[in-house]
């Protein structure tokens, strides 16, 4: 699968179809099973970075000469001071000392959030093409009661080879926006926690057969010869305030991802291969 350098980006219609089929659910206890329900939460819609990154974000929201977003300032700022990182960027003493479970998918190492579910998206050849972490959204507990789950957010993760000089994201977002418009949706650029983010509304058919729109936020972090894409769905996609609890939880999960790029030569835009953890492989 190609993410898209110098090639037409995968259409928004194809992305929507991929986001709602071919998933395997992986529970924290080390079991895997097929997931029948859609993997991307849908919704009918009426419709903390470091100081230098925060300054760049503030400056980019000011009006530029053409009245638009100053994407240049955002693209030139380093946003990964708190992650996500490449495994080669971590020193030996950076190894976590906690007991937090981690799932090694080859090119991605993911830290599940308590109460979350990991779903693996596969293509027709049964190759893993993305991993989706579904996180519960809870209402504040009152009078000593247990927090009530009132919804969910989801983070779809995939990593791609990128040029050593960076800049792949700047090449792709216009194509992705055009693809969204071609299927009757919309997309806009905004200043997000990793620089320029893409916010989309894509038309979908809800489980009860009605037409609606699926909102999403696309975050991209560019590292040494790799690009990590996170597509946010559900409650965290509707909220634009990154301090909102639902957004903050997804943001932390994205920063916790570790990328394993590998040394092999790959064309920019090629999907970094993922694999099922050895302890989850089916017995022969």
- Using one digit for the tens of pLDDT, what is the confidence trace for 187-222? 999 999 999 999 999 999 988 999 999 999 999 999
**Residues 112, 103: contact at Cβ < 8 Å?**
yes
What do you get for the CA distance between the two ends of the chain, in Å? 28
13 pLDDT tier (thresholds 50, 70, 90)? very low
Q: Do β-strands 226-234 and 103-104 pair in parallel, antiparallel, or remain unpaired?
A: unpaired
DSSP 154: E
The answer to pTM > 0.85 is no
Question: Can you give the pLDDT at residue 91?
Answer: 64
The dihedral over CA atoms of 234, 127, 125, 173, expressed in degrees to the nearest 10, equals 50
Structure-model confidence comparison of residues 31 and 161, the more confident one: 161
Q: ∠112-116-118 over CA atoms, to 5°? A: 70
DSSP 136: E
Query: What distance in Å separates the CA atoms of residue 160 and residue 267, rounded to the nearest whole number?
Result: 9
Nearest to 191 by CA among 49, 94, 2: 49
Mean pLDDT for the chain overall: 77
Name the residue ranges covered by the structural domains of the chain. Answer: 12-27+63-258+269-276
Is 39 a residue whose pLDDT tops 90?
Answer: no
Percentage of the residues of the chain whose pLDDT score is greater than 70: 71
Longest distance between any two alpha carbons in the chain, whole Å: 63
**Residues 82, 99: contact at Cβ < 8 Å?**
no
Query: What distance in Å separates the CA atoms of residue 274 and residue 260, rounded to the nearest whole number?
Result: 10
Strand-pairing partners, residue 189, are: 198
DSSP 202: E
Is residue 217 within a helix (H) or strand (E), and if so which, with residue range? Answer: strand 211-223
| Greatest mean pLDDT among 14-28, 47-61, 85-99, 265-279 | 265-279
* Phi, psi at 171, each rounded to 5°: -75, -25
């Amino acid at each position: 699968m190609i993410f898209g350098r110098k090639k037409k980006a995968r259409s928004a219609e194809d992305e929507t179809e991929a986001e709602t089929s071919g998933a395997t659910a992986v529970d924290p206890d080390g079991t895997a099973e097929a997931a029948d329900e859609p993997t991307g939460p849908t919704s009918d819609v009426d419709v903390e970075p470091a100081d230098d990154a925060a300054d760049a974000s503030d400056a980019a929201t000011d009006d530029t000469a053409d009245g638009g977003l100053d994407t240049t300032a955002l693209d030139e700022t380093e946003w990964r001071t708190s992650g996500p990182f490449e495994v080669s960027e971590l020193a030996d003493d950076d190894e976590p000392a906690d007991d937090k479970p981690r799932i090694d998918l080859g090119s991605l190492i993911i830290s599940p959030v308590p109460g979350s579910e990991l779903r693996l998206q596969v293509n027709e050849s049964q190759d893993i093409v993305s991993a989706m972490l579904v996180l519960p959204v809870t209402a504040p507990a009152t009078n000593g009661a247990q927090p009530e789950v009132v919804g969910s957010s989801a983070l779809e993760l995939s990593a791609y080879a990128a040029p050593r000089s960076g800049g792949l994201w700047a090449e792709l977002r216009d194509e992705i926006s055009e693809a969204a418009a071609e299927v009757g949706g919309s997309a806009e650029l905004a200043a997000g926690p990793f620089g320029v983010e893409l916010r989309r509304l894509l038309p979908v058919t809800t489980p009860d057969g009605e037409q609606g729109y699926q909102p999403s936020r696309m975050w991209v972090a560019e590292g040494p010869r790799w690009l990590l894409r996170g597509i946010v769905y559900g409650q965290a996609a509707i909220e634009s305030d990154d301090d909102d609890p639902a957004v903050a939880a997804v943001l932390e999960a994205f920063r916790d991802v570790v990328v394993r790029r590998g040394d092999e030569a790959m064309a920019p835009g090629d999907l970094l291969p993922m694999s099922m953890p050895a302890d989850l492989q089916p017995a022969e």
